[in-house]
Chain A
Amino acid sequence: MENLEIEGSHKNFFIPSVSFNAKTGICELSGESFLEDTVEFYKPLINWVEDYIELVHGPLALIIRLTYFNTSTSRSILDILNILKDYEESGGEVVINWHFDENDIDMEEDIDDYIIDTGLDINKIPF
């Protein structure tokens, strides 16, 4: 299984950096996310996670370091988290570390909302 790498950029739209590693199961999503077509951008990420669960069936660590995402992105993040929740419930090993600026109260609330929404143990890591 191939790794998934996308280089982030901050131009007209904000493309987050993506680094999903099939060997280690470490999936990093960082930067800012505001896209022309959010669903289109996140589809390969969701497919990758589904393939990893099916083919590799190993531990998966999602590391999020997003400093900004719009509401349309927040739906796609929820989609990914729901897949991880299902994986965890079927016996998969899942770790989620969410790094956020300790001064960004809104971001911390967003993370709490995902914890309530999904029932996942998301580790909140302030920096």
Chain B
Amino acid sequence: MDKAENAYQMYSDYIDSTIISYNGPFDAQVLSVIAENIEYSLSNNPRVSKKIFKIFIELAQNISYYSAEKQKNEEGNFFGSGILMLREMVDHYSFSTGNIVEKHQVLPVIQKCETINMLDREKLRQYKRKLRNMPSGTPGGGNIGLVQVALTADYPLEYEVVTVDESTSFYILNVRVNKS
């Protein structure tokens, strides 16, 4: 590595900082605390704060409803659980979530991400309108949260699926929002 690269690496490491990280059930209380944290941590940049907040709500609700791993919250009710991390990079914020999915959910999840990434903004808006006009809970339709996330983010969705055991996998989604 030459000197310039070295210096850049140091700079990146310095600025690359985790703002929020969480692991556990996604119940209303947790959502509310994290939402407040986002508003507070990013209050100097309203554009980014709003975008990260919108992305957070949709992804957190997805985990809450669809994670294959359920955990009890303080009141003893079960909610989908997973991890969440918000990091500040040099020129963007990086928002990641991860949760357990059943093997049979892996393909639909990947297909949804791929479909979304294939579409340009206009086509993505069309897709969102189409899904929104279908009754919620319709197979293959229904959930428009992820489409909204892609419309709000400044980059394509980045995802990864890691095999946990023969019946489950870990689904990681990363979304980036530019600082300006």
Considering the complex, which residues of chain A in the window 67-125 have a beta carbon less than 8 Å from any beta carbon of chain B?
A: 68, 70-72, 74-75, 78, 103-104, 106, 109, 113, 116-117
Question: What are the residues of chain B within 8 A of A109 when measuring CB–CB?
Answer: 125, 151
Interface status of A5 (Cβ within 8 A of chain B): no
Which single member of B28, B54, B132, B148 contacts A78 (CB below 8 Å)?
Answer: B132
With contacts A68-B54, A70-B57, A75-B136 known, is A13 near B28, CB below 8 A?
yes
Bound-state Cα–Cα, A117 to B132, Å: 10
- Is B51 part of the binding interface, using a Cβ–Cβ cutoff of 8 Å? yes
Nearest opposing residue in chain A for B28, CB measure? A12
Counting CB contacts under 8 A, is B144 at the interface?
A: yes
| Bound-state Cα–Cα, A109 to B124, Å | 12
The 9 sampled A-B contact pairs (Cβ below 8 Å) are A12-B28, A13-B32, A70-B57, A71-B148, A72-B61, A72-B136, A75-B132, A106-B151, A116-B129
Give A contacts to B, CB under 8 Å: 11-13, 34, 36, 68, 70-72, 74-75, 78, 103-104, 106, 109, 113, 116-117
Please list the residues of chain B having a beta carbon within 8 angstroms of any beta carbon in chain A.
28-29, 31-32, 46-47, 50-51, 53-54, 57-58, 61, 125, 128-129, 132-133, 136, 144-145, 147-148, 151-152
Extra A-B contacts (8), CB below 8 Å, given A68-B53, A71-B148, A104-B50: A12-B31, A12-B32, A70-B58, A70-B145, A72-B136, A103-B47, A106-B51, A113-B129
